[in-house]
Structure formats: C-alpha cells, structure tokens
Chains A and B, each alone.
Chain A
Amino acid sequence: MHDTEQKQAQLIEVNNLTFGYGQRLIFENISLQIPKGKVTVIMGPSGCGKSTMLKFFGGSLTPHSGEVIFDGINIPDLKREKLFELRKRMGMMFQSNALLTDINVFENVAFPLREHTDLPDSLIHHLVLLKLEMVGLRGARDLMPAELSGGMARRVALARAIALDPDLVMYDEPFTGLDPISMGVAVKLIKELNEALGTTSVVVTHDVPEGAGIADYIYLLGGGTVVGHGAPADMMHSSNEQVNQFMNGLPDGPVAFHYPAEAIGDDLLDIRQ
C-alpha cells in the first residue's frame, strides 16, 4: 500500500539507465526519481551528464538499457508520434534559450499554442499576454529576440516553456551567464511558477546556492552515477566527502585538483637530463 502511494508521487522514474558515446560511458546503471509537484535540482560538475539526463526525459536520446518512466509510460519505447504527443506535456528551457530568431517575443510564446491547439486568435492573444505578464515582459511583446538582453531572453524562453501548461518543466542551466539581478529574477520565477502552476520542475545547474535555494530535493551526479541525494539542508551538511566537496566548492578532495601526472620530482628531474 505504502509502495503504490510512493509510486504515484513520482512523475519520472529512471531505472538502471546505462548510456554512453562509443566506448565512453556517461551513465552506468543510474536510477533516480523526480517527485510530482516539486522542484528537483540535478547538480554535478561540468561534463557529468546532467544535461544529457534531460534529453532522456524529453526522449531525444535513447538509453542503451534501462527505463525512463514518465507518468507510467516508458519513454524509450515510444514511437515518434506518441513521443511528440507526450512532449506536449513537457516544457523545456534551453541553456541558449533557443528562441526562434525570425519571429518576435509574442510569436515565440504563441508558437506552441498555434502548433498544438485550435484556439481562436483572440484567446491565444490573451494566453500569451498572461504568460508574458507572469515573467514580467508583457511590454516587450513586440521585440525581436536579437533585441533582448540575456536575462530577458531567458524569461521569454521560460514563458514559452510554460505556454501549454505542461506537467513537467525542464530547465537546462537556467542561471548560467546571468547578471546578479537577472539571476535573482530567474530563481524567483522558477520557484513561483512551480507553485502557481502546480507543475513539476527539474532544474539542471551547477550553481550551488541558487540550486539549493529553490530545490525541494537535490540529486548530485558524478562519475556516471548518483553521488548523493537529499533535501538541500541535508546535502549542505553531508558527511559524504564527495557531496561535501561539491556543495561547498572545495578546490581539492575526492575530485582531485591535479590532473593525473607522475610525481613532480620525477617530472622535473626528467627535464634536467
């Protein structure tokens, strides 16, 4: 009984997923759960595959083995049409924002609505303005993406990601490259929108204070597997050395400061010869 309740509370379950490019394995037998209605933050050092994880959620990559179960559906099994159907329930904010550069802010946010609904223009107009109001950019509707600052572009991308009121919103590095004010806005928006819309959010980031600030739950990835997971407070004071090193930004620890090399003494003597 308790077990089924537990299951229902998860929007996504990754079970024993293995994936790699060529010989290099990115994930080895990794498992994690994304709880429904919460903000889950996936952290890890650069290159640990945290953005790759989002591609499994969105179905744009297929794992070598293992399951990615979204609301009871195993994503890797889906044919393209069914996958597209499922993607209408997901919103994604890309690290590069990925706004369509040949149409303005309004049309960017309207894009998913026009593509996937038969709503009349007047209603689309209302919906788009409401979404833009949520991110504070109702007044910028006529600007082209090239005219936006980095922070504004990210907010437009956010408005577009939530245009269809998705069950899952994914944020790929939402805090990278923002000035402190825009960063504060992004943090506030992700937290608030998750509550206001009742969606599930997955945030991929390596910014510890911001990530920990909005997280209900944190997964720390490294070396192809889950290094640690837990509530933000528990993670900050973890006794696990690897978790501790990352969360507190220590320059040396289990992740060594030095790139592997022979002992410096031998190296220097070698040169003298």
Chain B
Amino acid sequence: MNWIADVGAKALSIVSNLGLAGRFFAILAGASLRALGRFSLVIKQLYAVGVLTLLIILVSGLFVGMVLGLQGYYTLVSFGAESSLGLVVALSLTRELGPVLSALLFAGRAGSALTAEIGLMKATQQLDAMEMMATDPVPMVIAPRFLAGLIALPLLSAIFTAVGVIGGYLIGVQQLGLDSGVYWSAMQEGVDFYADIINGVIKSMVFGLIVTFIAVYQGYFAIPTSEGVSRATTRTVVNASLSVLGLDYVLTALMFGEV
C-alpha cells in the first residue's frame, strides 16, 4: 500500500514546486522591471550569456545550414525541384531549426553556466551576505541574468538562422552548382515576413523566457553543496531542453496549424 502514499507525496511535491516556481516568477518579474533601471548590470550579463555563446551558435548554424543544403538538394533534385532549395533552407531555419537549436545550445552553454554560477554564489554564502547587507539578491543578481537571457536568445537565434542560410548557400550554390539567383529568389518569393520570420522570433522569445527562467530558478533553489549544484545544473539542461521541445510543438500547432 506504500505506493499510494508515494504517489501522493510525489504529487504534493510537484504541486508545491509549481507554486514555488510561480511565486518566484512573480517576484522575479517585479525585480526585472526594477533591474531595467540599472542597465549596466544587465549589460555585464549580456556579455556572459550572449557574447560568450556566440561562437557555438555561429559554428552550429553554419553546419546545420550546410547539412540542410546538402540533404535538401539531393532530395529535391530527384523531383527536379532543386530550384526550391533556398526556400526549404530558409523556412526550416526561420520556423524551426533556428529557434529550437539555438535554444537547446543556449540551455547547454549559457543556462548551465547561469545555474552553476548562482548555485555557487548561494553555496559560498554570497547571497546570504547580500541579504545581511540589506540588499535583496533577486533584483541585484537574479534579475539581470534573467533579462540578459531574454534579450540574448532571440538575437542568437536570428544569427543562427542567418548563418544557416549562408551555409545552405555555400553548399547548394558554391559546391553543387545551383544558380545563385534561383537560390535567393525562391527565398524572397516564399518566405513571409509575419508568418515565418515573426513567428520564429516569437518562438525564440518564449524559449528565451523558459530556458533562462529554469536556469535561474534551479540555481536559486539549488541545495547549497557541490553535489546539489551539480544536480541543479543537470536539471537545468534536461528540463530546459525538454520544455523547449515540448513547447515547440505547442507553438507550432498554434502558429502554423491552420493555414
């Protein structure tokens, strides 16, 4: 009969964690508005989560674009439709691969770093020390990192998409000999600014919110030991990645479900 109690305890802990996360989100949202007034703190974090993630985004974007070019070309050429390569590459990137892959990379590179950093600040009593110095650590430490993540991911994802399109061009046009004008004009013809690009940007904003929130939440509530911080870091990457993939389906269904 113990399993009934186990299920109950598990359910209770899930509900109370959700409540905690909800409360933390409300506090964080208020603190973020205040942190906008001290934008220098946000800029410092933008460097840490944005600029330092740039390299992995550029490299991954290029290779993903190149693979798309290669796979797309060989699939399309058997239907004689290789002239649509530019469109295929651009749509895949703006709608799906750009926002989703950047979010996954961002969770692995920046999200884990955020969790570890905040968790270690907690473990070394730096957050306690701020509290004792009558400074609330949420607007001072957490909110600037949260805002930086919100701002950085849509930008990174736009860069990922742009570099990916160039990668597709390198393979499709430079290597496989598709006409350059055909590649770009198919893209210009078929990509819609609102339906494709803006929806992609909205996706990456949502992903930025969820990934960064998970990262700072896990860091702030990490058990302040080395084991606790390492587990929190793992949870950040796992939970953020799953949330991104799950939400991507929901968002895609909402945005592109009815054409």
Contacts and interface: CB of A to CB of B under 8 A. Distances in A.
Given A98-B128, A98-B129, A100-B126, A84 B134 contact: yes
Interface in A48-96: 58, 60, 84-85, 87-88, 90, 92, 94-96
Interface string A139-167: 00000000000000000000010000000
Contacts of B130: 100
Contacts of B131: 60, 87
A84 B136 CA distance: 9
Contacts of B128: 60, 94, 98
Contacts of A2: none
Interface residues of B, number: 13
A256 B133 CA distance: 40
A88 B124 CA distance: 21
Nearest to B131: A60
8 contacts: A60-B131, A87-B134, A96-B125, A101-B124, A111-B135, A115-B133, A115-B135, A116-B134
Secondary structure dominating the interface of A: mixed
Contacts of B125: 94-96, 98
B132 interface: yes
B129 A87 contact: no
Contacts, number: 46
Interface of B: 121, 124-126, 128-136
Contacts of B121: 101
Interface residues of A, number: 20
Interface in A95-132: 95-96, 98-101, 111-112, 115-116
A126 to B, nearest CB: 20
A25 B188 CA distance: 72
Nearest to B136: A84
Nearest to B121: A101
A155 B135 CA distance: 21
Contacts of B132: 58, 60, 87, 90, 92
A115 B41 CA distance: 13
A99 B133 CA distance: 12
